Amino acid sequence: MASIGCVFDRTDELVERLQHAPGEEARQELAPTSDGPAPSRWTLRGVRATFPWLKDYTLSGVWRLLRRHHLRIRAARVRQHSPDPEYVAKVEHLLECLRDAAAHPTEVVVVFLDEMGYYRWPKEGRTWSTAAPTPAPLADREGPNNKQWRVIGALNALTGRVDYLDAYIILDF
């Protein structure tokens, strides 16, 4: 029973080390060559190589030990940061507008608006052709024009309704 207590005392060590990328021990175990790079993600073999006290464990045993310590594979959260120095003030203003719309739904409407444009024909790309002095390959273009088509859409923040308009010309009023 003393050996189990010893393993459970290592929970903090496991959690702390697994919060960081695999290191030299995992590189020595997993790299295809002696000077290969360290792995970018944890594997059961990498965990076993990183902690000397796990060297006699099977991969299944390492997995079970991690499960016993309530450690799971989880996707990392991306920390997004806006470089806009007014970001916090803008978020507060948006929340204030949303609260106002929720309190007065017949008088205040909040919409999220976006627009985009696209062309009928894609831009010409590079392709393989002979080196002989022959004319460059032609891009097939059928149809009368290649004007930009525009799409604009608005999402009502309270109802979830989406209204949109698509046309060659969209006027702002």
* Per-residue pLDDT tens digits for 97-113: 999 999 999 999 999 99
What tokens were used for 133? 């002095």
Q: Which residue ranges in the chain fall short of pLDDT 50?
A: 1-5
Is-contact 150 166, C-beta < 8 A? yes
- Identify the burial level of 65 via C-beta atoms within 10 angstroms of its C-beta, where 0-12 means exposed, 13-18 middle and 19 or more buried: buried
Each residue's pLDDT tens digit, 11-24:
888 888 888 888 88
Q: What's the mean pLDDT when you consider all of the chain?
A: 83
Beta-carbon contacts of 43 under 8 Å, excluding residues fewer than 6 positions away, are: 26, 30
| Whole-structure pTM value | 0.44
3-state secondary structure of 49: helix
